[in-house]
Amino acid sequence: MKLNTMEERFSVARRMQEDLFQKNGCEWLKVMSGSMYPLIEMNDRVLVNKIPFDHVRSGDIVLFKSDEFLVVHRVIKILREYDDTVILQKGDANNHMSAIRPESIMGKITAIEKKGRIVELESLRGKCMNVLPAIRNFFSYRDLAYFEQGHFQLERGKFCRRLRWLKRYASKSLALCNRIVVRVLFHVWMCIFLIT
């Protein structure tokens, strides 16, 4: 079988990787985008464990299938309405979130390999590294969604009541400061935890 385009090669490699993951139940995957920066950077590797959807919680980082791509993002909220369930997901570096179906989730990220060092997300070190991006997502968005014609559609959330007055006057500045503070604190924590 001759593969002419890069897209065909990528598709075959992805299918082989999916088959291997389904067979073994866990797999190390290389991250190809910066959507989960600063916790997961480009070229970091993540360990994905196959788990049932019932074990997925808000704040978990999951691997899911979106069209022809495999995506690693954080679960913001699990919404249940009219016997229907959708998951709000977002990359830590992204400004928007979107909804996915539970059946698209392939597994949960349990470890990250950064610069040759493995950080298990269930360990104390991993939980400390994971907490700042999760807090940023919590304060940046509220879980506003509505159900329309069989699909959840999302609206941009408002800041918490304490920060509402800031949103009126300095939403862009606040978002920029929020990102800077989270990234600086994250890198300080990374230095502390990776050195020890």
Element (H, E) at 22: helix 6-24
Better-predicted residue by pLDDT, 73 or 187: 73
Is residue 149's pLDDT more than 90? no
What three-state secondary structure class fits 179? Answer: helix
Is residue 189's pLDDT more than 60? yes
Residue type, 36: M
C-alpha to C-alpha distance for 56 and 17, rounded to whole angstroms: 22
What pLDDT, on the 0 to 100 scale, is given for residue 168? 46
Q: Whose structure tokens read 């019932």?
A: 54
The answer to whether 17 touches 45, Cβ cutoff 8 Å, is: no
User: What is 28-195's CATH number?
Assistant: 2.10.109.10
Tens of pLDDT, residues 32-90:
888 898 889 999 999 999 888 888 988 899 999 888 788 999 998 888 877 888 888 88
The answer to whether 144 touches 155, Cβ cutoff 8 Å, is: yes
The answer to whether 109 touches 73, Cβ cutoff 8 Å, is: no
% of the chain residues with pLDDT over 90:
13
The answer to whether 73 touches 133, Cβ cutoff 8 Å, is: no
Residue type, 14: R
Q: Whose structure tokens read 């940046």?
A: 140
Cα dist. 56→52, 78, 105, 139, 162 in Å? 8, 9, 9, 21, 29
Burial of 174 (0-12, 13-18, 19+ CB in 10 A): middle
The answer to whether 111 touches 118, Cβ cutoff 8 Å, is: yes
